[in-house]
Amino acid sequence: VIDEVRQSVSEDIDGAEILHSLLNAAWLQSLLKVRKHFSVFHAAHLISNTVSSPCFQALLSAHDTVAQKDYEPVLPPMPEDLPDDEEATRIVCLVKNKQPLGATIKRNEITGEIFVARVIHGGLADRSGLLHAGDRIIEVNGFCVDGMEPEQVIQVVAKSQGTIMFKVIPITERPVHNQTMLYVRAMADYSPHQDPTIPCADAGMSFRRGDVLEIVDQTDALWWQAKKLPSNTSCAGLIPSTNLLKRKQREFWWSQPYQPHAYLTFYFLSSPTEEDMMAIDEKCVEAVFKHQTLTCTELRTFKKSDLVSESSFLSVGFRRSMRLCRRRSHSTTQPSCHTRCPSSCHSALNSPYEEVVRYQRHPQDAHRPIALLGPPGVGVNELRRRLIEMNPNIFQGAIPHTTRAPKGYEESGREYYFTSREIFDNMMYNNRFLEYGENKGNHYGTSIESVKEVLNSGKICVIDIEPNAIHAVRTHELRAYVIYVKPPPLERLRETRQEAFITTNYYVNRPFKDEDFQEMEESARKIESQYCQFFDHVIVNNELQDSCIQLLTAVTKAQDEPQWVPASWIRPTES
C-alpha cells in the first residue's frame, strides 16, 4: 500500500480517488474483518482468564463481604450550632471499641486549659489521624472541660458509651514525627509503675532484660514509644529513651552501695533532675489495655531416636583440666579463668538498649557457633557431648590450647594444641582467646581460631563457656548463639541426679550432695541476674532426653531461622 501511495504521489494523481479505491479494496475489507474478530476474541479470552483467576475471585469475594457489612454504630450528625469561627475548632468523633483510645492529656496549670499531651502510636486516636499532641480540648461529649482536673476529663471519657465527641482547637504547628524504624534489646528491667518520673504510668510499658522492643516513635527526647515483640497489639507504650534510662541508671548506681553490675538490676528510680522537670512534670492520665502473647516452637529435622545413638567420636574440647580452671573461678572471688572483652563490649555494657536487626544466616555462610553456659554441674557438658555424639559429622567442639606437656597417647591438634608458654602468652595479649585459665601451674585456653577452624570445615562448633566469656563470643567475627542451661527446681535435681557425678579436683568424680545442688542454684541465680539479657535460648535441664531434644531444636533454629542479633554484627561500626 505504501508503495502504491508513494507512486501515486510522485505521479501527481488525485489523492481522494486513490484513497477511495484503497478503502474499498476487497483485500483491505477482509483484513479489517479478521482484525475485528481477532481483537474481540482476544479481549474476551483475556477477560475470562482474569475473572476466573483465584486472585480476582478472592478480590470479588472480599468486595462482597465488605459491601454486605453494616458498620455500627452510625456516627451522630454533626452539631448544628457550630461557632462562626469554625475554622479554629474541630469536632472529632471516635467510636469506642475494645482498643485503648491511646492519648494522654495534661492541664496548663496557669490557664487551666486541657491539652492532648501525647498520642500513642497505633492507638485509636492515632489511627483516626484527627487528634494530635498539642491540640486543645474544649469539650468532651458536650461537657466544657476548661478548668477540670485531667482525672475528671478521663472520667467523662470512661463513662461515655459508643461514640466520644471531642471539640478541639487544633495545634497550629504540629511537631514533626521522628518515626525511623528501630529495634532494640533491653539491657535493663523497667517498670513504669515504679517510676515516679513517667508522665503517665498507665501509658507506660514494662519490659525485662532481653526483651526485643520495636521503637515506633522517638519524637520526644525523653519518652519514646515502643512495642514489645512479638506483639499482637497495635498500640505502643511509653518507655524511657536511651539517654533518660542511662541517666536513671547512673543516679541509681550512685545511690547504691558498690556492686559491679548494679545497673543491670535496678527497679527503683530516683527523682527527676531539673532538666527532666520541664518535659515530664505533666499531669497526664489515661487508661490503656494491653495483651501479650507467647509463641511456641517445634522440632524439625532430627528424630528423637537420633539422640541415643552410641557412635564413637573424638571428644574434642571436653578436657577435664580446662573445666577445672573454670570450676575454680566459680568457687573463689578472684577469677582464675579470664575472658577476652572486645572493644564493642564496653559500649554494650554501658547502653541500656542494644540495637538489634533480624538476621538470617545465608546457607553459604559459616554456621553460627553454639555457646552453652550454666552453673557448674548443671549438665552443660553432658548435653554438649550427646549433641556431638549424635552426629559428629555436623557438630564438633573446639580444640583447646595448653602449655602442659602432651601425654604419651596425645597428639597436638587432637586432644589439645600443645604450645609453649611464650606462644600462649602472645595469643593472650593479642586477645586471641575466648577464655583462658590456669590449673596446677599449666595454662589452658579456647582460641577464636580453633572455633573458626571448626566453622571453616562446614561443621557447627559447639563450645561451653564461662558466663563472662559471653561478650567474647557475641561478636561480628563469631556471631555465636548463646544457650543458657538452667537447673530445674531443687526437688527435681534430687530426683534426676541420683546416678549423676560431679566433676571434682580429685581423680574420681563423686555423686552429688544436697549442698552441691544448693550451690548450683545460687550460682544460677547470679548468672541469670547478670547475663540473662544475652541468652538467645534457655533450656531447663530437667529430663535429659527432653533437654537433648530442646537443644537440637534450638541449634537447628539458630542456623536456619531469622534471629535478632546486634546491629553491629551486620554493619560493624568499630574496627
Ligand X SMILES: Nc1ncnc2c1ncn2[C@@H]1O[C@H](COP(=O)(O)OP(=O)(O)OP(=O)(O)O)[C@@H](O)[C@H]1O
Contacting positions for ligand X (CB under 6 A):
323, 327, 374, 376-382, 496-497, 500-501, 503, 541, 544, 547
Q: How far is the CB of 485 from ligand X (least distance, A)?
A: 7
> What is the Cα–Cα distance from 472 to 451, expressed in whole angstroms?
12
Q: How far is the CB of 330 from ligand X (least distance, A)?
A: 8
- Residue 32: phi, psi to the nearest 5? -65, -40
The CA dihedral of 229, 230, 232, 235, to the nearest 10 degrees, is 0
Task: Report the candidate in 266, 230, 231, 239 with the shortest Cα–Cα distance to residue 251.
Answer: 266
Q: How far is the CB of 380 from ligand X (least distance, A)?
A: 4
Peptide bond into 73 cis (omega under 30): yes
282/464 with CB nearer ligand X: 464
264/380 with CB nearer ligand X: 380
Q: How far is the CB of 517 from ligand X (least distance, A)?
A: 11
> What is the Cα–Cα distance from 507 to 505, expressed in whole angstroms?
7
233/542 with CB nearer ligand X: 542
Indicate the burial class of 322 (C-beta count within 10 angstroms; 0-12, 13-18, 19 or more). buried
Q: Contact 348/556 with Cβ under 8 angstroms?
A: no
279/540 with CB nearer ligand X: 540
Task: Report the candidate in 482, 454, 469 with the shortest Cα–Cα distance to residue 539.
Answer: 482
Q: How far is the CB of 323 from ligand X (least distance, A)?
A: 4
Q: Which residues contact 332 (CB under 8 A, 6 or more apart)?
A: none
> What is the Cα–Cα distance from 490 to 190, expressed in whole angstroms?
29
227/327 with CB nearer ligand X: 327
Q: How far is the CB of 431 from ligand X (least distance, A)?
A: 24
In three-state form (DSSP H/G/I as H, E/B as E, the rest C), the secondary structure along 561-572 is CCEEEEHHHHCC
Q: How far is the CB of 549 from ligand X (least distance, A)?
A: 12
Q: Which residues contact 96 (CB under 8 A, 6 or more apart)?
A: 124, 160, 161, 162, 163, 164
Helix axes 544-560, 380-390, angle to 10 degrees: 70
Q: How far is the CB of 328 from ligand X (least distance, A)?
A: 11
Q: Contact 203/120 with Cβ under 8 angstroms?
A: yes
Q: How far is the CB of 208 from ligand X (least distance, A)?
A: 25
Neighbours of 313 (CB within 10 A): 15
Q: Contact 290/114 with Cβ under 8 angstroms?
A: no
Q: How far is the CB of 466 from ligand X (least distance, A)?
A: 10
Q: Contact 249/266 with Cβ under 8 angstroms?
A: yes
353/484 with CB nearer ligand X: 484
99/530 with CB nearer ligand X: 530
> What is the Cα–Cα distance from 573 to 575, expressed in whole angstroms?
7
In DSSP terms, 418 is beta-bridged to: 402
121/497 with CB nearer ligand X: 497
Distance of CA 94 to the CA centre of its chain: 33
> What is the Cα–Cα distance from 414 to 277, expressed in whole angstroms?
64
91/544 with CB nearer ligand X: 544
112/511 with CB nearer ligand X: 511
134/374 with CB nearer ligand X: 374
Q: How far is the CB of 515 from ligand X (least distance, A)?
A: 15
Q: How far is the CB of 414 from ligand X (least distance, A)?
A: 21
For the chain, the residue count is 575
> What is the Cα–Cα distance from 37 to 29, expressed in whole angstroms?
13
The angle subtended at Cα 331 by Cα 328 and Cα 332, nearest 5°, is 85
Helix (H) or strand (E) run with residue 150 in it: helix 150-159
> Residue with CB nearest ligand X?
379
Q: How far is the CB of 383 from ligand X (least distance, A)?
A: 7
Q: How far is the CB of 456 from ligand X (least distance, A)?
A: 26
Provide the pairing of β-strand 337-339 with 103-107.
unpaired
DSSP code at position 119: E
100/379 with CB nearer ligand X: 379
240/377 with CB nearer ligand X: 377
Q: Contact 317/463 with Cβ under 8 angstroms?
A: yes
DSSP code at position 204: B
120/324 with CB nearer ligand X: 324
